[in-house]
Structure 1
């Protein structure tokens, strides 16, 4: 919170948090601009990481994440389409469109990945996600290029940005993302069982159809809510669960909370770097996570997918 267009020393930040005085300009900047931005970033990072962990556990696909399997792209397309058709749309209104887009994207990608001989495989699911993402992203770009007003409204948002987030928006979206993360922790044991294999899970008495349905709804709320708040930020949902798994092993009762903490940390670091590199201007945080995540994705694609 010390870094921005104008730096503020750490003692002033601490004073603004503990002894807020609305008559002091720096205190206003900290409490009304930078704090909600940091909190928004932590919520988005944690939510995307937990969504990615759920997807990796249920599909047993090391490349599964909301960004790579098209969920983020579907949510973003739905928001852009709504702005294109309806004109000015508030960030609050983004939520319903993002959730709808995320749900439709998940259904389509899962359906495509399950087609053909042998049903769903990690490679088929990844390819289906890549194809769907490319297809939807091309339509999103076409809408933005064809309408300057739409482009002007959400240009920064489409690259993944935390700029301009306020406490009102945080309070609106926190119950959705918080509820999604709590729900994920509740079914973490079942996700661990399913990650060992469908037959093993059924043999242990798990209702795999119900668990998958609940998990899919949680992913839609977590990913869709995150996209509505900050735009389509890639790779956080891929990186954080793998780092968590490296630290705590294969138990999703531990993977999911560690993923949430690591996801929040990744977004916070990425947003800080985004404000430093081209200071006093700033880059979208989605650009920074892409720079970090792309090499990680290549590594996983080469060494983890069989």
Structure 2
């Protein structure tokens, strides 16, 4: 019998392939960066009132006391910045979530973080009259943190650690319970319902909060994500493989949950529970960037704002002079994507 041997590709070929992949990734991110700039400009130029682009640019350079100046430098600027930060936070949180749970259809709501933030806001409004901006941001952060800690503790109960399957099951159970409590409170407290129903739909129209309350926690969350990005790539391969590669799995997963809490709490408090951004963007980023989690996170950080601003702009155009809230549009687009992923995964396992 003739022996056959497997010949490894020359190191030069491997280096060339790696270089080509990195060049392709950089080009994709550069294109997304240009798209983000275009979306930001269009977001400033398009609204329920028609203001010429030249006038918009003039008001950005030299604001005055006119109503047009308030619309451009106040409402639209705040809305655009909010869309960029919220889109970035949700997309990066989704990329981290999919690595931590090793679930390609995971999103930030899977661990109950968004539900915890929503429940805390409803509880505060119902029993404490907490309707101010700072109170809602604080409640959302506390609720998200408690939800993440509770879900993680329940999933780790009984030994064996907080496995991805346990995290998902505990998160789904908590989200269902929180949703039931929220609906009950809204029925019991009509005033809370009037306050909550505008926030619950998911929108970028809120302008009554200090921007540092949104940007500050998101920056801290991003720093934490960058600190554990290499460990996230290893965890995505499995806990045993990650441990063999020297990754401290429990530490990386714990830091990731803190980062998720900060990112999701800030985004939820500012814009309400916007769904599917954390699902769609990391999925597309993983296909474009490959298995390296740091590249996926970077791509998600740029693509998330592009998706959210595009949906917001589309909502202004379709229903002018009124508008469709961005949360409705992302849900409308995201539901088919989720169904497609379910059938695709089913086909892969068949």
The TM-score, its normalising length taken from structure 1, stands at 0.91
**Cα offset, 1:122, TM superposition:** 5.3
CA distance, structure 2, for counterparts of residue 195 and residue 174 of structure 1 = 28
CA distance, structure 1, for counterparts of residue 97 and residue 280 of structure 2 = 13
1:221 correspondence with 2:262? yes
User: Does structure 1 retain, via aligned residues, the 8 Å contact 2:101–2:165?
Assistant: no
Helix, strand or coil for the counterpart of 1:67?
Answer: helix
Mark the CA change 1:117 to 1:171 in structure 2 (over 3 Å): closer, same or farther: closer
User: Does structure 2 retain, via aligned residues, the 8 Å contact 1:63–1:126?
Assistant: no
Any unmatched runs of 5+ in structure 2? 1-43
Residue 80 of structure 1 is matched in structure 2 by 122
CA distance, structure 2, for counterparts of residue 213 and residue 281 of structure 1 = 43
Equivalent of residue 299 in structure 1, options 340, 345, 349:
340
**Cα offset, 1:304, TM superposition:** 2.6
Residue 59 of structure 2 is matched in structure 1 by 16
User: Does structure 2 retain, via aligned residues, the 8 Å contact 1:67–1:233?
Assistant: no
Equivalent of residue 2 in structure 1, options 45, 69, 79:
45
**Cα offset, 1:117, TM superposition:** 11
The TM-score, its normalising length taken from structure 2, stands at 0.80
Residue 103 of structure 1 is matched in structure 2 by 145
User: Does structure 1 retain, via aligned residues, the 8 Å contact 2:206–2:271?
Assistant: no
CA distance, structure 1, for counterparts of residue 252 and residue 276 of structure 2 = 25
1:210 correspondence with 2:233? no
Residue 44 of structure 1 is matched in structure 2 by 86
CA distance, structure 1, for counterparts of residue 322 and residue 310 of structure 2 = 17
Any unmatched runs of 5+ in structure 1? none
**Bigger RCO (CA 8 Å, 6+ sep):** 1
Residue 194 of structure 2 is matched in structure 1 by 152
For the pair shown, the structure with the greater C-alpha radius of gyration is 2
User: Does structure 2 retain, via aligned residues, the 8 Å contact 1:74–1:136?
Assistant: yes
Mark the CA change 1:115 to 1:171 in structure 2 (over 3 Å): closer, same or farther: closer
Equivalent of residue 141 in structure 1, options 183, 201, 209:
183
Residue 17 of structure 2 is matched in structure 1 by none
Helix, strand or coil for the counterpart of 2:301?
Answer: helix
Residue 70 of structure 1 is matched in structure 2 by 112
1:92 correspondence with 2:134? yes
User: Does structure 2 retain, via aligned residues, the 8 Å contact 1:12–1:27?
Assistant: no
Equivalent of residue 194 in structure 1, options 222, 235, 241:
235
Helix, strand or coil for the counterpart of 1:68?
Answer: helix
CA distance, structure 1, for counterparts of residue 338 and residue 210 of structure 2 = 32
RMSD between superposed Cα atoms in Å? 2.2
Runs (4 or more) in structure 1 with deviation over 3 Å come to 107-131
Residue 238 of structure 1 is matched in structure 2 by 279
**Cα offset, 1:70, TM superposition:** 2.1
Q: How many residues matched? A: 304
Helix, strand or coil for the counterpart of 1:304?
Answer: helix
